[in-house]
Amino acid sequence: MEKTDKPELNYPEIMPVLPVRDTAIFPMIIVPLMIKDDDNINLIDDALKGDKLIIVAMVKDKKKKDKDLIKTYKIATICKIIKFTSEKEGRVLAVQGLSRANIDEIISEHPYKQARITELKNIEHSGKEIDSQMTDIWILFKQIVNLSPHLANELVKISLHIDQPGPLADMITSTLKLDRKKKQEMLETLDVKKRLEKLNLFLNEEIQFKSMGKELQEEVEMGLDQSKREYYLKEQLKTIKEKLGMDQSEISEIEELQEKFDEKDLPKDARKVVNKELKRLSKMQPISPEYTVSRTYLDWFFDLPWLDSTDDMLDIKQAEKILHQHHYNLEKIKQRILEYLSVRKLNPAHKGPILCFTGPPGTGKTSLGRSIAEALGRKFIRISLGGVRDEAEIRGHRRTYVGALPGRIIQGLKKAGSNNPVFMLDEIDKLGTDFRGDPASALLEVLDPEQNFSFADHYLELEFDLSKVMFITTANQLDPIPSPLLDRMEVLELVGYTEDEKINIATRFLIKRQIIEHGLAIKKVLFRKSAIRKIIRGYTREAGLRNMEREIGSVCRGLARRVAEGAKDKFIITDKNIHEFLGNPKFTSDLQTRTSIPGVAIGMAWTASGGDILFVEATMMPGQKSLVLTGQLGEIMKESAQTALSYIRSNAKHLNISDDFYQNHDLHIHVPAGAIPKDGPSAGITILTALTSLLTSRSIKPQLSMTGEVTLRGAVLPVGGVKEKVLAANRYGIKHIILPHDNRRDLDDIPDKIKKQLNFYFVKQMDEVLKIAFNPIKKKLCKKT
């Protein structure tokens, strides 16, 4: 017997649709649902204000995240909201299924889906056949409950009280852990006879599966294939987790992770590690500390560009254009970079030396690196090695450490997002070594093309291929770089810029950039040359351009404020008005006035920012044979001063100084700026010259500076940092330079155009120094090399 009920419209024609991912809801059954999406909250709020009725429909594609693209099955369930709680752990909605319904038409998507629906009624049957079908189902269900620890025995009793075939099938289906699609199939089966048949089939399958589990539990060896065994074990695990009260969301988190990794390109070894770790993770309690550690580890694996590279676009002409576009002059360096890139283009497998840019700060090292990356179409990443003493900073900490992370190299690659970036290792000369291992040797492995295809980071515990990375290093000085590292590098030196070059760079690059960065209009701001020169001379003391750029930035900031306050005129910045923005000059160029007094000589120093000049001042007052030294002088410099004094005393006659100058006097030598520590032997001849100048009351030639160590016998010995010192002297307007004879070769490194502006004197003995310092310069001992 068969009868079809015509659908009656007991429910509103239009209802909001709540999409769910994991299950279909059956009439009469109460189900809790986790609510994550905010749009759904609106839907629930609106429903709660009204008749509390909604349609719950299962989404077709579980993986689709884009709300607008989500499609649901047409056959769904009319539900009533029973309860809605919002707690820390999440928002839970309890709904009770009321009836099956067909979604006829979606009539709106925003703020949530609304649909026109028709209620669906069961196609009912009765009779002996149905009765015996129902008895079969009860028997099967009882077996299942016995085999499933998670199903309560009461369920069997409850099912015995349901005498309608349709609701019986629905109740049992809802307790089973069926695949979501099977559940939907059951929902869509309106004919109760067919519904019972299907359920019978599913129950049989389930019993088979469960009894298989039992056998496994008893550890009976069986010929189960691997995949079935795994599937079974996973199911078991789920049940155990549920028993332990673990959140279903954690299980799905692991599933989600697995899906994420399935879609990611990974080398074979990495995939093995990931799968092993995922297995470990799935067995952990989410609140346990190991869970977080393991989760972070997996996140690192996911974020690293194991196989992701950018495509190189190596066009040498284009590269040349980019280098010129961002850099003024530096012709030799640009040529060398282009040659380097050409070799890479012709023979990509050739692992040439690593480029190392050296020079004082602000001379364009980073910006050259950036241009190389731009020319190659690669990502650019930069890390500083300054102060790195611990090998673990390069190689990472083992995971057993609390808060362990990969080393800086791997961190840099994660940031780059590709495995072939241009990777700049800054300040390689500032690497330290101590008891925590030698970072330089770890770095050797990073830079060595023979080894770096399998770089071992302690945290990852798996080798990472660095062979596609293009490393570039930078350093301020070459001396501190460990020689095995230096051997692998090709050094390109950036010596610093002359005043004219700085003015050119400022007008062509820096000013424009700063004007734009500060939101000003290029046409509304004009920096006159005089202003730039004033910045260079009065506000900065550097070989590079960093401070100059910063000062230009300060001016622009001041202008931005004026514009914001309503100023509309064009601004013209000159040497006369620049102090309005920068305050009084920090440095005064008073070479002439300061050296006009006897007792003041100009020396040259080697500093981190390139080089500098320094004034050595000597004075004398009544006292008792003491020598006072101030200006934070180091031990070696103090010894130089003692040596100089002894030389003068033993050669007083020869120098035309009265023998007893030392009897009733104290001598004081001061080297400003007093707050900056200074040391080294290279001020020897300068101190001696300053003292002689004081004691003979003769002032020293203006625009003369000198460097050199002096011995007790007056021999002048070579010193270091000559190139930087000479460039600095040139920047300060020095015209004559005295250097130790043995430093002659150092001039080879100095650009010709700078050498042309200077007169060099190479000396072996102190006598010669004094002759040059005090006599009118008639004969040049040596001019230009």
Which H, E and C letters describe 364-405, residue by residue?
CHHHHHHHHHHHHCCCEEEEECCCCCCHHHHHCCCCCCCCCC
DSSP for 8-23 reads ---S-SEEEEEEESS-
The answer to whether the Cα torsion of 182, 36, 243, 218 is positive or negative is positive
For residues 139 and 209, the answer to whether their CB atoms sit within 8 Å is: no
Of 361 and 406, the one with the shorter C-beta distance to ligand ADP is 361
Binders in 135-174 for ligand ADP, by CB under 6 A = none
Options 356-364, 571-579, 710-718, 737-745: segment touching ligand ADP (CB under 6 A): 356-364
Q: Which is nearer to ligand ADP, 449 or 553 (CB)?
A: 553
Nearest distance, CB of residue 371 and ligand ADP, angstroms? 9
- If the CB atoms of residues 367 and 642 are measured against ligand ADP, the closer one turns out to be 367
# chain residues binding ligand ADP, by CB under 6 A: 17
**CA–CA gap between residue 558 and residue 573 (Å, rounded):** 11
Q: Which of 73, 509, 661, 774 binds ligand ADP (CB under 6 A)?
A: 509
Alpha carbon distance 781, 769 (integer Å): 11
Residues 683/614, Cβ–Cβ less than 8 Å: yes
- What single-letter DSSP state applies at residue 742? G
Identify which range of 114-122, 161-169, 272-280, 360-368 contacts ligand ADP by CB under 6 A. Answer: 360-368
For tokens 């709680």, what's the residue?
85
Task: Say how far apart CA 234 and CA 747 lie, in whole Å.
Answer: 75
Mention every residue, 6+ apart, whose C-beta is less than 8 A from residue 160.
Answer: 138
The distance of closest approach from Cβ of residue 366 to ligand ADP in the complex, given in angstroms and rounded to an integer, is 3
Task: Among 40, 159, 175, 363, indicate the residue that binds ligand ADP (CB under 6 A).
Answer: 363
Q: Which of 682, 693, 705, 723 is catalytic?
A: 682
- Whether 725 is catalytic: yes
CB 493 within 8 A of CB 360: no
485-508 burial by CB neighbour count: b if 16+ within 10 A, else e?
bbebbeebebbbbbeebbbebbee
Which of the residues 527 through 546 are near ligand ADP (CB under 6 A)? 544-546
DSSP string, 37-50: -HHHHHHHHHHHHT
Residue 328 or 774: the one with the smaller Cβ distance to ligand ADP is: 328
Cβ closest to ligand ADP, residue 311 vs residue 749 = 749
Query: Quick one: which of 172, 422, 505, 710 contacts ligand ADP (CB under 6 A)?
Result: 505
Q: For ligand ADP, which is the closer residue by CB, 362 or 406?
A: 362
Q: How far apart are CA 412 and CA 424, in angstroms?
A: 10
CB of 370 to ligand ADP, least distance (A): 8
Neighbours of 463 (CB within 10 A): 15
The residue behind tokens 């003391």 is 541
Q: With respect to ligand ADP, which residue has the nearer C-beta, 364 or 598? A: 364
We find the least distance from the C-beta atom of residue 72 to ligand ADP, in angstroms, to be 56
- Residue carrying structure tokens 């199903």: 151
Q: Is 291 a residue that touches ligand ADP (CB under 6 A)? A: no
Query: Rounded to the nearest whole angstrom, what is the least distance from the CB of residue 335 to ligand ADP in the complex?
Result: 14
CA dihedral sign, ordered 24, 29, 34, 37: positive
CB of 548 vs ligand ADP, minimal distance in Å = 8
Query: Which residue in the set 16, 305, 361, 611 belongs to the binding site for ligand ADP (CB under 6 A)?
Result: 361
Looking at the Cβ atoms of 383 and 700, the one nearer to ligand ADP is: 383
Q: Beta strands 716-717 and 709-710: pairing type?
A: antiparallel
- Interface stretch with ligand ADP, choices 161-169, 358-366, 630-638, 746-754 (CB under 6 A): 358-366
- Out of 27, 97, 305, 362, the only residue in the binding site for ligand ADP (CB under 6 A) is 362
Question: Across the strands, what pairs with 380?
Answer: 422
Nearer to ligand ADP, 26 or 606 (CB): 606
**147-155, 363-371, 479-487, 525-533 -> range binding ligand ADP (CB under 6 A):** 363-371
DSSP class of residue 428 equals: G
Q: With respect to ligand ADP, which residue has the nearer C-beta, 369 or 598?
A: 369
- Binding residues for ligand ADP restricted to 466-485, rule: CB under 6 A: none
Q: C-beta of 505: minimal distance to ligand ADP in Å?
A: 5
Q: Which of residues 434 and 500 has its CB atom nearest to ligand ADP in the complex? A: 500
Question: Please, what is the minimum distance in Å from the beta carbon of residue 418 to ligand ADP?
Answer: 22
Q: Write down the least CB distance from residue 326 to ligand ADP, Å.
A: 6
Q: Which residue has the tokens 């660095």?
A: 466
Provide the mask over 364-403, with x wherever binding to ligand ADP is found by CB under 6 A and - wherever it is not: xxxx------------------------------------
Give residue number: closest CB to ligand ADP. 364
Smallest gap from residue 356 Cβ to ligand ADP (A): 12
Burial 539-562 (b: 16+ CB within 10 A, else e): bbbbbbbebbbebbbbbbebbbee
> For residues 160 and 60, what is the distance between their CA atoms, to the nearest angstrom?
34
Positions 314 through 333 that interact with ligand ADP (CB under 6 A)? 327-330
Tokens matching residue 511: 């000013």
Contact between 196 and 169 under an 8 Å Cβ cutoff? The reply is yes
Which residues within the stretch 543-562 sit at the binding site for ligand ADP (CB under 6 A)? Answer: 544-546, 549
Q: What are phi and psi of 100, to 5 degrees?
A: -75, 150
Residue number, 318 or 504, with CB nearest to ligand ADP: 504
Positive or negative, the Cα torsion across 644, 646, 647, 652? positive
Question: How far is residue 258's CA from residue 274's CA, in Å, rounded to a whole number?
Answer: 9
Of residues 686-725, those binding ligand ADP (CB under 6 A): none
Radius of gyration of the chain (CA): 42
C-beta of 330 vs 605, nearer to ligand ADP:
330
Stretch that binds ligand ADP, among 116-124, 180-188, 362-370, 514-522 (CB under 6 A): 362-370
Contact 707, 720 (CB under 8 A): no
Quote the least distance from Cβ 560 to ligand ADP, whole Å.
Answer: 19
Binding marks (x or -) toward ligand ADP, 240..269, rule CB under 6 A? ------------------------------
d(CA 283, CA 291): 9
Binding positions for ligand ADP, 606-635, rule CB under 6 A: none
* Nearest distance from C-beta of residue 297 to ligand ADP, angstroms: 34
Question: In this structure, are residues 629 and 683 in contact, taking their beta carbons and an 8 Å threshold?
Answer: no
Reduced DSSP (H G I as helix, E B as strand, rest coil) percent helix, strand, coil of the chain, to 5: 45, 20, 35
For the CB of residue 728, give the shortest distance to ligand ADP in the complex, in Å: 16
Using an 8 Å Cβ cutoff, are 447 and 488 in contact?
Answer: yes
Among the listed residues 334, 409, 403, the one whose alpha carbon sits nearest the alpha carbon of residue 364: 334
List the catalytic residues: 682, 725
Binding site for ligand ADP (CB under 6 A): 327-330, 361-367, 505, 509, 544-546, 549
